[in-house]
């Protein structure tokens, strides 16, 4: 019951954190999105949103509402990253929507788990959480196959383990502060558990 209650609270918080109806009123222009992505984003995130650089996230097939939320928060300084704050600063709401919907239309490439010693622990945490420490299963919000829940929770399947480790660590250490629910979850994870979950996520597809 405690885990279920936590998930319900997390869902409510996430829903209220998304950009408002103004974002939803913008009709995406995929041609403009492709042009903007190629000019601004492709160098770090790959020409089709499948980053080849492990510290930079794959964006292909990500929920567009989630991408818009992140870009909005980079621009506002709510999410801090020296590179992304600068990249997002000149983007209009229309630019963000166009980019987000274009890259979301691209198919994500599969990843792979690499650490056999940790992947079973990662699977256990991802699918079942850690009950005695009140850590909910990642699958409850991000779905069993890592597809996520559109608008509320991002797609994780196939994401680079290095990037996932960096983000979970940033949430845990209070460096990344744009998701209350992830801060609460990550705060209870140690370094080994973070690496294990990240490695398991990398192999989901």
Angle at 58 between CA 52 and CA 63, to 5 degrees: 165
Q: Is 60 exceeded by the pLDDT of residue 95?
A: yes
Average pLDDT for 131-135: 96
Question: Which is more confidently placed, 117 or 65?
Answer: 65
Give the domain ranges of the chain: 2-11+110-203, 18-104
Q: What is the dihedral of CA 81, 83, 87, 88, to 10 degrees?
A: 0
CATH topology identical between 2-11+110-203 and 18-104: yes
- What pLDDT was estimated at residue 32? 98
CATH number of the structural domain 2-11+110-203 = 1.10.760.10
By the 10 Å C-beta count (0-12 exposed, 13-18 middle, 19+ buried), 138 is classed as: buried
Q: What is the dihedral of CA 30, 95, 70, 144, to 10 degrees?
A: -10
- What pLDDT was estimated at residue 10? 35
Q: Is 70 exceeded by the pLDDT of residue 20?
A: no
- What pLDDT was estimated at residue 76? 98
Percentage of residues of the chain with pLDDT beyond 90: 84
Q: Is 90 exceeded by the pLDDT of residue 6?
A: no
- What pLDDT was estimated at residue 175? 96
- What pLDDT was estimated at residue 23? 57
Report the predicted TM-score, pTM, of the whole model to 2 decimal places.
0.87
Q: Is 90 exceeded by the pLDDT of residue 121?
A: yes
Q: Which helix H or strand E contains 184, and what residues bound it? A: helix 180-186
Question: Which is more confidently placed, 99 or 11?
Answer: 99
- What pLDDT was estimated at residue 203? 96
- What pLDDT was estimated at residue 2? 38
| Per-residue pLDDT tens digits for 35-47 | 999 999 999 999 9
CATH number of the structural domain 18-104 = 1.10.760.10
- What pLDDT was estimated at residue 24? 66
- The count of residues in the chain is 205
Unique residue bearing structure tokens 């973070």: 194
């Amino acid at each position: 019951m405690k885990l279920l209650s936590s998930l319900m609270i997390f869902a409510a918080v996430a829903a209220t954190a998304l950009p408002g109806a103004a974002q939803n009123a913008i009709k995406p222009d995929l041609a403009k999105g492709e042009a903007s992505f190629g000019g601004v984003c492709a160098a770090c995130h790959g020409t089709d949103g499948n980053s080849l650089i492990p510290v930079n996230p794959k964006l292909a097939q990500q929920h567009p509402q989630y991408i818009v939320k992140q870009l909005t928060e980079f621009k506002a300084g709510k999410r801090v990253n020296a590179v992304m704050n600068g990249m997002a600063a000149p983007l209009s709401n229309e630019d963000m929507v166009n980019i987000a919907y274009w890259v979301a239309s691209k198919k994500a490439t599969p990843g792979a788990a690499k650490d056999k010693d940790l992947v079973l622990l990662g699977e256990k945490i991802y699918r079942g959480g850690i009950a005695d420490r009140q850590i909910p299963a990642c699958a409850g919000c991000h779905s069993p196959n890592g597809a996520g829940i559109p608008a509320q929770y991002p797609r994780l399947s196939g994401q680079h383990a290095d990037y996932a480790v960096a983000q979970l660590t940033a949430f845990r250490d209070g460096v990344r502060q744009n998701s209350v629910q992830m801060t609460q979850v990550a705060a209870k994870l140690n370094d080994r558990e973070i690496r294990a979950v990240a490695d398991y996520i990398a192999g989901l597809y």
